[in-house]
Amino acid sequence: MDPQYLRAFIAIIDQGSFSEAADQLHLTQPAISKRLATLEQQLGVTLIDRGQRPLQLTDAGSRLLPHAHRILDEVYNARLAVVSSTGVTGRLSLIASHHIGLHHLPAWLHPFNRDYPEVSLELQFMDSESAYDQMLKRTAELAFVTLNEAISHSFNVHLSWQDPMVFVCSPEHPLARLRAPGLNDLAGYDALLPAAGTATYRTISRLFLEANLILKPQMPTNYLETIKVMTSVGLGWSVLPRHMVDDTLSILPLATPLSRVLGAIGLRGRSLSPAAQALLALAGKTQDGC
């Protein structure tokens, strides 16, 4: 079973179309269609239902897909085992959440670029939820994300650290005048929080549900820097990492301690390149020194 045929099969499903899969693999559309057709002829089954939009796997295609991923992962591991003897070189593809990319990644990349100049970095920035999906599509070797409470068994967590969070508001906000505010006080005002699918939102939502209180989210965005600015001008209260708080914000001294977990994930079954291991070592030293 030719890995090129399997790669074409996976790309068509990941991209949802033959044309976009062809662009991803730098092929013509007839070429990628031929690779899929050849694979189907070899197996004697139809793998993708071309009549559905978006394209859908047949039962046979669904059974093949996890095996195809494992085969290509082993091809990747075999290649890595051969070329890793050359040292810390080559391409390192990374995904980082916007927050980690702004507040953590620069501290790691400065010494990394200095110590390993022969590594070519490819960076993508996106919210953590999108990063998990992209990692399953094998678009990067490592992703630095917010770790959720039910991380899939498809991932290995290579590094993790606590990111303490605090309730905040503008110094001019009515909540800032309260000596001992509680969740019931916050429930009377708008909340500026990340979108509902994020780990941070789920944590806050759970607190309000357990207290039988109504959460009033406004203007959801996953950019914490935007949330910080909107909070600082008095549009509502929020929850932000402790290290982001400055004199434009007041910390609300709620009795409820909050923290999220940030970390680096890779795909289970895929070996890490020497470049990825070197970056993780640098990141781990930085967190240990915090």
Our CA dihedral for 221, 226, 232, 235, rounded to 10 degrees, sits at: -40
User: Which of 149, 159, 143 minimizes the C-alpha distance to 97?
Assistant: 143
- Beta bridge partners, 267, equal 155
pLDDT at 28: 94
* pLDDT tens for each residue of the chain, 290 residues long: 799 999 999 999 999 899 999 999 999 999 999 999 999 999 999 999 988 778 899 999 999 999 999 999 999 999 999 887 778 999 999 999 999 999 999 999 999 999 999 999 999 999 898 999 999 999 999 999 999 877 889 999 999 999 999 999 999 999 999 999 999 999 999 999 998 888 889 889 999 999 999 999 887 788 899 999 999 999 999 999 999 999 999 999 998 889 999 999 999 999 999 999 999 999 998 765 44
Cα 66 to its chain centre, rounded Å, is 21
Local structure of residue 243 (DSSP, 8 states): G
* Domains, in order of start, for the chain: 3-82 (1.10.10.10), 91-290 (3.40.190.290)
- Name the token pair of 19: 């044309």
pLDDT at 221: 83
pLDDT at 288: 59
User: Which of 11, 5, 9 minimizes the C-alpha distance to 24?
Assistant: 11
Cβ-contact 253, 178 below 8 angstroms: no
Local structure of residue 170 (DSSP, 8 states): -
pLDDT at 23: 94
User: Which of 211, 248, 273 minimizes the C-alpha distance to 85?
Assistant: 273
CA distance 249 to 187: 19
The verdict on whether omega for the bond into residue 54 sits within 30 degrees of 0, i.e. cis, is yes
